[in-house]
Amino acid sequence: MQTIHKNTAVKTILTGRTGKIVSPSMKISLITSCNVVNWAILSYFIDCSMLVRHLSLPPFFPPSEHLLFFPMHINPKRKFLAEKTHFLVLICCAVLPCLAQTEAPRKPSDGPYTPKLIMPGGLLLPLYAPDSPMLKKERIHEAEISNSAGGGNSGKGPIINVINIHNPSIEVHLVPKGQANTGTVVIVVPGGGHKILWVGPEGADYVPFFAKAGVSTIILRNRLRVDGYEPTIDAVNDAFQAIRLVRSHAAEWAIDPAKIGIIGFSAGAELSAPAALFFDQYEKNHQQASDPLASISARPDFVGVIYPGPTPFTKAPDTAIPATVPPSFIACAGSGDQVHAVWATEYFTPMLKASVPNLEMHIYGRGGHGVSGKDRETIPYGAWRERFLDWLRDLEFLGARGVETKAARDVAKYAALPPSNLRKNKN
């Protein structure tokens, strides 16, 4: 039994077969078998648009540049079968029912869509009011397309990934009552190349891990490029809005408003990295009297940048570093994930040159893009989460709620330095 990693464009299990990634321009005649154990966990990286158009069926997915994956077993004597229409129908009947599907079509009159919980016990809050100018009002009624462990939108098992997000939200998982609570909150931003949101492996999986340390977890459902949004604007705005929204509920949720951080994975790190740099700008641009969160800080108290995509320093190495820049933790595999490791160092280096306090980076010798499953237990890269907790502990984020952290004291000292001194990004 072979598991195909999510980065090959699918998450599926095959039995003794090889797979081939097929672009929409290639013939389906390459398909010669469909020996599949579990199509139910196919990811939304699959674009069924080609097959759907061929059979004149209603689309399950928005048009995109995604690849289409089919299992195959090359057998020249059987290749001709793939040319037959009845075989295409057979494939369609076997595959499409198991692919992630939307809910029943919704109309604008149905109001803003309320997403399903990624995992039980959470509290869902939309980031914006329905009449917010930040939203596309003509689309906020649309249902998200989610894929669960039980198959599609079945609701059986936790949600693995999501697409078609037009009413962005946060899912709040507070430290359980009766358990030690540090008051610290981590807003988790899943990755997915701005084409999908891996809310399961890069979201829900971290809830129990952080809860054991007395840290609450909040999963961000941000808007995606594939759904017509610009990540550097819309998605980054979602991250800042999430920070503000969480901070506004500090008293209600028994969290510390000075211990709210954000951590992003891969494309999600393209949100957490700007959050460390542009919070002042966001606040200046979003202080309208009509905004109920206008008076609340959008600055994170700490930032995690995990196997990141390109950061603001990639395009502009001389990006200004604010005086109150929060501490950052960076982790990535090295040569096994070279491009992301380079992006990680591009974020780290200017911060280091500017002598930003409490900056920490781990580049691991073994590993690829992402780390999950058994790798968390078997290779050093899998222990980056423990190193992250060590870092939080050292900065006193895991201490008692309401007590000033070492991180806060160091930020204050750094901010007091003359701009011409250590705070200059010396490129």
Q: Looking at this protein, which amino acid is placed at residue 396? A: E
Burial class (CB in 10 A: 0-12, 13-18, 19+), 316: exposed
Q: Which two tokens stand for residue 359?
A: 């900056």
**Residues 209-243: tens digit of each pLDDT:** 999 999 999 999 999 999 999 999 999 999 999 99
Tell me what pLDDT residue 418 has.
86
pLDDT of 270 over the 90 cut: yes
Residue boundaries of the structural domains of the chain: 2-98, 121-415
- Assign a CATH topology to domain 121-415: Rossmann fold (3.40.50)
Which one-letter DSSP state was computed for residue 145?
A: E
pLDDT at 35 over 90: no
- For residue 378, what pLDDT is reported? 79
- Average pLDDT of the chain, as a whole number: 79
pLDDT tens profile 39-62: 233 333 333 332 332 222 333 333
Please tell me the predicted confidence (pLDDT) of residue 77.
40
**Residue 271's pLDDT is what?**
98
The dihedral built from the CA positions of residue 196, 199, 205 and 211, taken in this order, carries a sign that is: positive
CA dist 223 and 37 (Å) reads 32
Q: Which residues contact 418 (CB under 8 A, 6 or more apart)?
A: none
- Chain centre distance of CA 83: 39
SS3 call for 392: helix
Q: Characterize the bridge pairing of strands 328-333 and 360-364.
A: parallel
Lowest average pLDDT, out of 6-20, 209-223, 319-333, goes to 6-20
CA distance linking residue 297 with residue 241, whole number of Å: 10
Q: 152 — phi, psi (to 5°)? A: 50, -140
Amino acid code (one letter) for 280:
D
- Within 206-353, residue ranges assigned H as helices are 206-212, 236-248, 250-253, 269-275, 279-285, 312-315, 338-353
Q: 195 φ, ψ to 5°?
A: -110, -15
Tell me, rounded to whole angstroms, the distance of Cα 155 from its chain centroid. Answer: 20
Name the burial class of residue 133, with classes exposed (0-12), middle (13-18) and buried (19+) by CB atoms within 10 angstroms of its CB: exposed
- Looking up tokens 């974020």 gives 347
Per-residue pLDDT, 92: 40
Q: Which residue has the higher pLDDT, 137 or 63?
A: 137
Strand partners, 362: 331
Residue 96 in contact with residue 49, Cβ under 8 Å? no
DSSP 3: E
Distance CA 223, CA 187 (A): 15
Tokens standing for residue 233: 């604007």
Average the pLDDT over 386-395 and give the result: 98
